[in-house]
Structure 1
Amino acid sequence: MTRVLVLQQPSSAAAVDDWLAAADADVEVLLVTGPGARRAGTERGARVRVVTLDAYEGAAATAQVRAVAREWRPNRVVSNSEKDVLRAATIRSELGLPGTPARLAVEFRDKVRMKALFERAGLPTARWARVQCVDDVLAALEAMGPFVLKPRGGVGSQGVHVLAGPDDVWRLLTTAPQVLDEVHADALMVEELVDGTVLHVDAVLDDADVLLAVPSRYLHPPHTFASHDVASVCLDPGSAAHTAAVAATRALACGLPAGHGVAVVHLELHLLPNGTVLAGEVAARLGGGMIKGTLAHAYGVDLSRESYLLAAGLRGASQLVERPNPPHQVLAGHMLWTSRRPHVTRDALPAWAHGFWAADGDGPHVAAHSADAAGGVIVEGENEAALVDRITRVG
């Protein structure tokens, strides 16, 4: 009997329990979520039980989830949220369950320990350094020039600062004094500011096999979300950049330990002017924002569903296990209005625009992170250049 503990962020609308039940009618599901869950009130199958925590975040919630797991004794623990990676891995390690253990999961969450993942995969990275006092910050600035100061455990490009000189450092510590406390707590790191294009690859893994890897490029670096809307487009298949990005993803998969249990990754790379790539960051989850919808539109495959089935041990129901690396049906890209509100309406959009949405409100939009948007849209086109042109036209 397969018993799957699902950790689902309240903001998630993914029908995980339905996917699992469709794959195996005998599977038992215990879904843990929190207040205000988007799927609250959804009709569930007879083998699905829902536990709603008083609060989903925090140490008390983690302790409660662990207690639930110890009592219910699942065979698998699954999630597709950055914030649940370590929580789920801790339960696996505690109960001796298959899947990603805590010692590996932390390398997908801590950007310093993450460098070990890239080293094992043979992937070069930009220069970086740990910083624990202001002199470390200034020394790194002198050694590598302009750099990015960012949280070791950050998500969504939150708390990222680009510093080009000592004056920038002192100005930041004056306007945001909490940053100094974070430096002293070893909670931040610095990384060389790379002159190149930021790529992202969203891939489904089956141990060392890459079942699908989709490389895309951001039109602007995601940490600039407050001043530039976040947009990305699929790379032209067969292009040098596409080939390099897929090769880096395969190297990463081969560098993971056997039986690693990582079913999906969101890998960010820096494409240098000479065509080589540097590894930036990697997460053990699908990309956020509208990436999931964009890739489903392009390939006809729900990568989120695929990753849940693999993580739950139901690989026989996986569309990608049966037919790995399917060709795209159409190239696609998307735009998130993070720096302002959309100036277009659904009715005014052309036929190549899909999935448009706009948040309520008419005041200025102030994004807190790179997926905090006032609206979004998916575009399709015959090649990368057409996608860029169409995003520019709707943006």
Structure 2
Amino acid sequence: MMRDLRHVVIVDRSDYGKYRFPDGRPFLDPERYKVTFLTRPGRGRDVRSEDAVTVMHTDTYSEQDVLKCVPALAAGRPVDAVVSLSEWTLLPAARLREALGVPGPGWQRMLPLRDKVRMKKHFAAHGVRTPEFMTIERPGEAEDLLKRHGAVVLKPVDSMGSAGVHLVGSRSELQRLDREGLKNGCRYEAEEFIDGRLFHIDSVVDHGSAVVATASTMLDPDTVFPLGGACRSVLLDDGPERDTALAYNDQVLATLPWFSGVTHLQFFLDRAGHPVFCEIGGRPGGGGIAPAFRHRFGVSLVRAALLPQVGEAFPEFREIRPPAERSSGHVVVYPRDLGTLVSYDRVPQEEWIVQFSPLYRAGQRIVPASSWGQGIAMITVCGPNSRTVVQRLDEARQALRVAVRP
């Protein structure tokens, strides 16, 4: 008799490797699941026969293109769940759930976790302090907002990684942007600039409550990506600041009682120490967040985000590291030189390196970064406290050497 397999469609944008345990076993056991991996053209080549996965290709960034796959999916085994773990595929996956009639959050529910305007309206309506904001079609429309606050931030409504963000501190600068125009094809919003520090909290969430959460602060701006520069993040030590961050995270998540999975929340502490909302994603954070989480708890954030979407319970989350290794941080290192990458001549090898991730391949052309994660390398480190972690981030960054052909 044919096994009663549950059919799961994963809407992704890259490859299948992140859906496996370190020993190579797939998160979704072929004895229990039939998996259709819907990904972008040229991706998914790492799927193996033992994964028992069917690969389909389309532009998974496009809701319309994903919906074109409905007839093929509907003609096969009934779909039991649709999974998405990427910012770019959250809404296409939601559309697909609705079209196939499978359980899980639909488009309207996922919109506040993707669209920055709908996002702020949702949280402001629930008593969460947000910056004053407005939708704009051109920069000049934000002139009154600039007068009230002295500085504004212009953001694409549906982008990520700080791509296309403009910090504007003068009327002349706003007029220049108005003349030049903003990025074609993007909807923009303008919001007051919050003078304060940026934090992020990464949580495993069960129906709007954090099961486990890690709180970090950014040490460098994540909106500029200078040659030879870096962007660092470090976990907060125990203390009042961390307590404030986690309490604020609880307040934000409580407005999403329907959500289970993983969230990446960004917020500011203003000069008075009060939290102000920045944005939230309904997916695992990027950079060194996932390696640090796996290092500390022994659980993949990808798996934690996947399980509730297929109706399975979370694993137990417990500290598996001694105190000397529980703190962590990561750094995105931006290239010093432009040209063609020849090789990574020297990479940090210290025992406190959790993960070194080269972001270019030999022969690739190095271009100026246009978003937060477009560095030459990503390095995650651990240590006993934030001070040691910061020292190690800087040491690792200085140790890195790459050969570039101009």
- After superposition, residues 1-395 of structure 1 pair within 5 angstroms as 1-10=5-14, 13-15=17-19, 18-22=25-29, 25-37=31-43, 39-45=44-50, 47-53=52-58, 55-58=59-62, 61-72=65-76, 73-174=78-179, 176-179=180-183, 187-226=187-226, 228-236=229-237, 238-257=238-257, 260-315=258-313, 318-319=314-315, 323-324=316-317, 326=319, 329=322, 330-338=326-334, 340=336, 346=346, 348-358=348-358, 359=360, 360=362, 365-395=367-397
1:295-338 deviations in Å (ceiling 9; x for gaps): 212332211111101211111xx31xxx3565765211111113
- The code of the aligned residue for 2:333 comes to W
Alpha-carbon distance in structure 2 between the residues aligned to 1:115 and 1:327: 37
- Higher normalized helix content (fraction of residues): 1
Alpha-carbon distance in structure 1 between the residues aligned to 2:166 and 2:153: 6
**Stretch moving more, 62-71 or 297-306:** 62-71
* Structure 1: segments with no counterpart, 5+ residues: none
Alpha-carbon distance in structure 1 between the residues aligned to 2:88 and 2:391: 35
Deviation at 1:231, TM superposition (A): 1.6
TM-score, length of structure 2 as denominator length: 0.84
Alpha-carbon distance in structure 2 between the residues aligned to 1:130 and 1:57: 23
Alpha-carbon distance in structure 2 between the residues aligned to 1:230 and 1:144: 26
8 Å Cα contact 1:98/1:261 also seen in 2: no
Alpha-carbon distance in structure 2 between the residues aligned to 1:363 and 1:90: 36
SS at match of 2:286: coil
Alpha-carbon distance in structure 2 between the residues aligned to 1:250 and 1:285: 17
**Stretch moving more, 41-50 or 76-85:** 41-50
**Stretch moving more, 40-49 or 334-343:** 334-343
SS at match of 1:112: helix
1:149-170 deviations in Å (ceiling 9; x for gaps): 0111111111100101111012
Deviation at 1:265, TM superposition (A): 0.8
Q: Structure 1 47/120 Cα, relative in aligned 2: closer, same or farther at 3 Å?
A: farther
Deviation at 1:109, TM superposition (A): 1.2
State the structure with bigger RCO (CA 8 A, min sep 6), 1 or 2: 1
Deviation at 1:122, TM superposition (A): 3.0
- The code of the aligned residue for 1:244 comes to T
* Structure 2: segments with no counterpart, 5+ residues: 398-406
- Higher normalized strand content (fraction of residues): 2
- The code of the aligned residue for 2:159 comes to G
SS at match of 1:286: coil
Alpha-carbon distance in structure 2 between the residues aligned to 1:5 and 1:165: 48
SS at match of 2:254: helix
Alpha-carbon distance in structure 2 between the residues aligned to 1:57 and 1:158: 16
Deviation at 1:141, TM superposition (A): 0.8
Alpha-carbon distance in structure 1 between the residues aligned to 2:247 and 2:344: 38
- The code of the aligned residue for 1:242 comes to R
Alpha-carbon distance in structure 2 between the residues aligned to 1:16 and 1:346: 29
Alpha-carbon distance in structure 1 between the residues aligned to 2:144 and 2:51: 61
SS at match of 2:17: coil
- The code of the aligned residue for 1:211 comes to V
8 Å Cα contact 1:233/1:334 also seen in 2: yes
SS at match of 2:123: helix
8 Å Cα contact 1:338/1:370 also seen in 2: no
- Identity within the alignment, %: 25
Alpha-carbon distance in structure 2 between the residues aligned to 1:150 and 1:206: 30
Alpha-carbon distance in structure 2 between the residues aligned to 1:15 and 1:379: 23
- The code of the aligned residue for 1:282 comes to I
Alpha-carbon distance in structure 2 between the residues aligned to 1:81 and 1:214: 20
Deviation at 1:348, TM superposition (A): 4.9
Alpha-carbon distance in structure 2 between the residues aligned to 1:285 and 1:214: 14
Alpha-carbon distance in structure 2 between the residues aligned to 1:59 and 1:127: 30
Deviation at 1:216, TM superposition (A): 0.9
Q: Structure 1 109/3 Cα, relative in aligned 2: closer, same or farther at 3 Å?
A: same
1:30-88 deviations in Å (ceiling 9; x for gaps): 11122222x414313475322233x4444653233333343343111001111100011
- The code of the aligned residue for 1:32 comes to L
TM-score, length of structure 1 as denominator length: 0.86
Alpha-carbon distance in structure 1 between the residues aligned to 2:38 and 2:365: 35
Deviation at 1:98, TM superposition (A): 2.0
Q: Structure 1 89/245 Cα, relative in aligned 2: closer, same or farther at 3 Å?
A: same
SS at match of 2:79: coil
SS at match of 1:21: coil
**Stretch moving more, 376-385 or 121-130:** 121-130
SS at match of 1:199: strand
- The code of the aligned residue for 2:35 comes to V
Alpha-carbon distance in structure 1 between the residues aligned to 2:357 and 2:140: 46
**Stretch moving more, 270-279 or 323-332:** 323-332
Alpha-carbon distance in structure 1 between the residues aligned to 2:125 and 2:31: 40
Deviation at 1:392, TM superposition (A): 2.1
**Stretch moving more, 81-90 or 266-275:** 266-275
Alpha-carbon distance in structure 1 between the residues aligned to 2:259 and 2:239: 30
| Residue correspondences, number | 379
8 Å Cα contact 2:62/2:92 also seen in 1: no
Alpha-carbon distance in structure 2 between the residues aligned to 1:362 and 1:157: 23
8 Å Cα contact 1:204/1:210 also seen in 2: yes
Q: What RMSD over aligned residues (CA atoms) do the two structures have, in Å?
A: 2.8
Alpha-carbon distance in structure 2 between the residues aligned to 1:47 and 1:101: 28
Alpha-carbon distance in structure 1 between the residues aligned to 2:46 and 2:394: 40
**Stretch moving more, 66-75 or 159-168:** 66-75
